[in-house]
Amino acid sequence: MKTPRLLSVFIAVIAVLAIVLAMDTLRLIGDRQWLSAIIVIDSQYYYALFALLLPVAFLIYPTRPWIDYPLALASFVLMSVFSLNALTALDEAWEFGAPDWVVYCAVSIWLILLEALRRAGGMALCIIAGLFSLLPLYTGHMPGPLNGLPATWQETAAYHALSTESMFGLPFQAFANLVIGFVLFGVVLQHTGGGQFFLNLAFAVLGRQRGGPAKVAIVSSGLMGSMSGSVVTNVLTTGQMTIPAMQRAGMKGNVAGGVEACASTGGVLLPPIMGSTAFIMATLLEVPYIDVAIAAALPALLYFFSLFVQIDAYAGREGLAGSRDEDLPSVRETLADGWFYLGAFGLLVFLLVVLKREALAPYYATAALIVLNQFSRAHRLDREGFVRLLEGAGRLLVELVVILGGVGLIVGALSLTGLSGTLVNDLLGLAGDSLGLLLLMGALTSFVLGIGMTVTAAYIFLAVVLAPALVGQDLLPLSAHLFILYWAMLSYITPPVALGAYAAASIAGASPLATGFSAMRLGTLIYIIPFVFVLEPSFILEGEWTATAQAIVEAVVGVWLMAGALQGYLPGFGRLSALWMRVLLAFAGLAIALPDLDVAFPAGPANHVHLIGGIVVAAAVLAYVRAAALKPAAE
């Protein structure tokens, strides 16, 4: 349904105001803020940002005008009142003892936010956030792990609306101070033809290889998914181009959909942006962004390598050829038409990695992209294009602010009742001294809690509830946080939920369940990769470079063997005809890829025994396959 012109312009104006407000907070012009006379403390800025964006949720996701407009007006007025009184609230500690009129305002904004969350994030997330936000009221009557410090409804409402631990907690602060710029960059990249450019470039470089269109999907969807931050949205955008191309190359619809779902899921795990999750993770861990990006790089590349070799094996088994030269774009022409996309992306990476200017980097890169875009005849933005661009940015900002505020209610309730620490202790008690058991429990918990939740919402919730238990077992904080992020994302490709796979199935015209199982099979190795890096610190570049090099070689060889076993075809060796070969090769690959298991299971195998055993088994199987392949030729 097309957005009415007036609403489209209104959302664009709100996006501009929100971006200007964020840029002012970043002090882009010297040490003077443009709004310094009004925005005195951070909480004023947070309330002002909410006042701009929250009302728009009721216009973007409408029900009835007589409900939508009063809610939009009430949310604007209430957040404006909080912003104007933020300094007084800080001085008089309203968080712990607010006047009656403030309490009623807090209750109102609490309910309004839940309604906005229902519209923007879905009923499931609304119910979860609503029940958790009420937890302080009934926790005193709950058994075991859910029994915490009780609070009155007045104290709970004031805490949610006025503290820096609830709806305005660290996740929202990361959004307000860092993420807005990256949202803008991603939207500008999409609206200026960046998605099509990366797709064409991938086709020009990889299209001729066997299974070329699928390999193109892996690269292009991974890059765009890193910037969009939404698995389903990325599937529905890039998938419109990649899935039909894979089907034309002879790939079954359910497999093509599974490839796109896996690639889009991996995009959220891929630096430098990771769908903005990297910046929230850095804020929660209180570490520089660059540390998160570096730690996440090798696991993400290993995941995409596993997809790549599986696709290559599938294409070899099915005899799928690459695209014809006349159907592929030229590398030279593609770069000539879209060189400025690479320039803007390179500038972003340079500012992030070299100069370490995380806050300002996306704004400079966006400005460069918009200016350079005007030299493109095909994708030059006109006035209508700018409005659509800003509208897209506004919609995404509204969705994020509502979801982060709603998830903040969950975090705030756990903080107010003291249950965040209690749940961690209960998990540790159940696992005992076994890190392996704790990891398995953590993986299952992350998977279940990730079902139906957005990437950001799932990660934040798990970072509060589960990550401290893993860190308490002497795991590196970055490893633990990446571990729960990976396992939370598995719900997007795992039936019966598999939202990413089901979205791809709608484009491919295939069975949703069959597409889900295809995605699960193609993404099998993502179930294993988190255990590789959480148990081997050198894999996230912690420790000596020699240990990192060894971990990389072992992981690559192990993944290559497992991918061949899963697809029944190993490049360079051919088909693996017998089931026993595939089973042995899969276990050999797993033994080679996994680090020393005595870290997780002290009573388990000694150092390097599993590695040596895996190498011996793999060598025996491959020698047998090679001999069987050469025997007919010799005879």
Task: Give per-residue pLDDT as tens, 587-625.
Answer: 888 888 887 655 444 544 445 666 777 787 878 878 877
Q: From the CB of residue 613, how many other CB atoms can be counted at a distance below 10 Å?
A: 15
220 and 360 inside one domain: yes
Q: Among 153-157, 322-326, 389-393, which is the least confidently predicted range?
A: 322-326
295 and 367 inside one domain: yes
pLDDT of 630 strictly over 70: no
pLDDT of 635 reads 43
For residue 498, being part of any structural domain is answered with no
Of 2, 15, 17, 14, the residue nearest 393 (C-alpha): 15
Summarize the confidence of residues 202-221 as an average pLDDT: 85
Instruction: Give CA separation, 252 vs 33, 256, 414, 542, in Å.
Output: 57, 6, 46, 42
Specify whether the CB–CB gap between 167 and 9 falls below 8 A. Answer: no
Rounded to whole angstroms, how far apart are CA atoms 424 and 463? 11
Of 377, 155, 436, 408, the residue nearest 280 (C-alpha): 408
147 and 233 inside one domain: no
Overall number of domains in the chain: 3
Instruction: Give CA separation, 605 vs 553, 596, 600, in Å.
Output: 21, 8, 10
Rounded to whole angstroms, how far apart are CA atoms 41 and 60? 30
370 and 288 inside one domain: yes
pLDDT of 150 strictly over 80: yes
120 and 268 inside one domain: no
For residue 214, being part of any structural domain is answered with yes
227 and 111 inside one domain: no
Specify whether the CB–CB gap between 516 and 501 falls below 8 A. Answer: yes
For residue 445, being part of any structural domain is answered with no
More confident residue, 235 or 612: 235
Domain range for residue 247?
A: 175-381
* Domain-terminating residue out of 140, 171, 202: 171
76 and 208 inside one domain: no
Q: Per-residue pLDDT tens for 407-420?
A: 889 889 988 998 86
pLDDT of 434 strictly over 80: no
pLDDT of 323 strictly over 70: yes
For residue 297, being part of any structural domain is answered with yes
* Mean pLDDT taken over the chain: 83
33 and 114 inside one domain: yes
Name residue, tokens 């309730």.
Answer: 413
Q: Environment class of residue 324 by beta-carbon count within 10 Å: exposed (0-12), middle (13-18) or buried (19+)? A: exposed
pLDDT of 34 strictly over 90: no
pLDDT of 275 reads 67
pLDDT of 26 reads 62
Q: Among 52-66, 106-120, 221-235, 473-487, which is the least confidently predicted range?
A: 221-235
Residues 6+ apart with CB under 8 A from 336: none
263 and 203 inside one domain: yes
Summarize the confidence of residues 25-50 as an average pLDDT: 69
pLDDT of 28 reads 45
State percent of the chain over pLDDT 90. Answer: 20
Element (H, E) at 88: helix 86-91
For residue 232, being part of any structural domain is answered with yes
Rounded to whole angstroms, how far apart are CA atoms 23 and 611? 52
134 and 190 inside one domain: no
367 and 320 inside one domain: yes
pLDDT band for position 280 (50/70/90)? confident
pLDDT band for position 67 (50/70/90)? very high
* Domain-terminating residue out of 117, 150, 171: 171
For residue 486, being part of any structural domain is answered with no
Q: Among 60-64, 133-137, 582-586, which is the least confidently predicted range?
A: 582-586
Q: Could you tell me the pTM of the whole model?
A: 0.82
Q: Give the SS3 label for residue 380.
A: coil
For residue 505, being part of any structural domain is answered with no
Summarize the confidence of residues 114-133 as an average pLDDT: 90
* Domain-terminating residue out of 348, 381, 414: 381
Phi-psi region for residue 251, left (φ > 0), alpha (ψ -120 to 50) or beta?
A: beta
More confident residue, 512 or 58: 58
Specify whether the CB–CB gap between 273 and 226 falls below 8 A. Answer: yes
219 and 350 inside one domain: yes
pLDDT of 134 strictly over 80: yes
For residue 387, being part of any structural domain is answered with no
